[in-house]
Structure 1
């Protein structure tokens, strides 16, 4: 009986570790709104990600992050508005974030 419980616990820990390892491999996105646009910072496992595709579909504009994982996304609207920003990893994860961009007045 003790052997069975030990094997059950070992199997549970092995599968749990792989599940938690997968949770830590996702992109982390930080958006800092400013007048005229927003700074977008992308990292994975604490490491800034270069060459991540960042786009604003409503403006048909596309950008790539630099080696420090950052890119400034411009907006051409004068009043405050919500901006949808798509972030896509080549051959991997993609996500959309929405942020309120303040008026550029």
Structure 2
């Protein structure tokens, strides 16, 4: 029920959030700007990839709430899509490795 909701072709006629535009903005533009600013710092090898995975996972996890879940899978545990489960794994993996790399340095 937002003014920018869209009715997609070959759908049930209900208006939906244009999640593709949200993804393009957050996973594209915002993520690019953040990583572009982070590149100026002198991080050890692999840190930028881990930051990308962490931020992409966080953005995608929240944007999945605006998407229709896959019909063949539905919602897991009653609230999470398969994309969110995979994003949780990505967030945990990248955060864990960033923390491990930080403890190795200091």
Greater helix percent: which structure?
Answer: 2
Greater strand percent: which structure?
Answer: 1
Taking structure 1 as the reference length, what is the TM-score of the superposition? Answer: 0.23
Taking structure 2 as the reference length, what is the TM-score of the superposition? Answer: 0.23
